[in-house]
Amino acid sequence: MPTVIFQLPDGTERKVTAASGTVLMQAAVSNGVQGIVAECGGNASCATCHVYVDAAQSELAGGPNDVEDEMLDFTAAERRPTSRLSCQVQLSDALDGLVVHVPEEQV
């Protein structure tokens, strides 16, 4: 059961534990993490579950797939090299301790 840490724009953080195999967006939404909107429910059609993976862990989390890469060009907050759609980040024990930053805006 990996634990992930959401750093919120107001400086607070939320630590959430989720089963391996679930996606990061689901872990956020089912724990009521503010700022992860996820309008499309995880289908990579809305770009409202955008997060920045902590720079030190970016390689570990991997890069975006093709559809995700396209959607990341249209996020409300600026795209950065560490940007991911949290609905496309599958959690595993290897990602235990993952830190992600939630942007100010999603829509």
Partner 1 sequence: MSAVPAVTTAAPGAPVVDLDLADLRRDPYPAYAELRRTAPLAWVPSVGRHLLTRYEDIVLAEKLPEVFSSREEGSLLLRTVGPNMLREDDPNHRRLRSAAEPPTRPRQVRDLWAGAFERTAHELLDRIAGRGEADLMADFAEPLVAANLALVLGLRDASAEDVANWSRAMMAGNSNYADDPDIWLRAERATRAIEDAVARAAEAARREPDGSVISSMVHAAGPVDLAEIQNNVKVIIGGGVNEPRDVFGVGAWALLNRPEVRERVLKEPSSWKRVFEETARWVSPIGMYPRQLTQDHEIAGLTLPAGSRVALVIASGNRDESVFERADEFDLDRPHRPHLAFGGGPHFCMGAWVARHEVSAIAWPLVFGRLKGLRLAEGATASDSGSAAGRLDGWVFRGPTSLNVTWQAA
Site string for partner 1, 15-34 (x = CB under 8 A): --------------x-----
Phi-psi map region of 71: left, alpha, beta (phi>0 left; psi -120 to 50 alpha): alpha
Query: Contact between 43 and partner 1 (CB under 8 A)?
Result: yes
Binding test (CB under 8 A) with partner 1, winner from 82, 83, 86, 106? 106
For 89, other C-beta atoms within 10 Å of its C-beta total 23
At CA 27, angle to CA 74 and CA 3, rounded to 5? Answer: 115
Binding test (CB under 8 A) with partner 1, winner from 24, 46, 51, 99? 46
**Which residues form the interface with partner 1 (CB under 8 A)?**
29, 37, 39-41, 43, 45-48, 67, 70-71, 73-74, 105-107
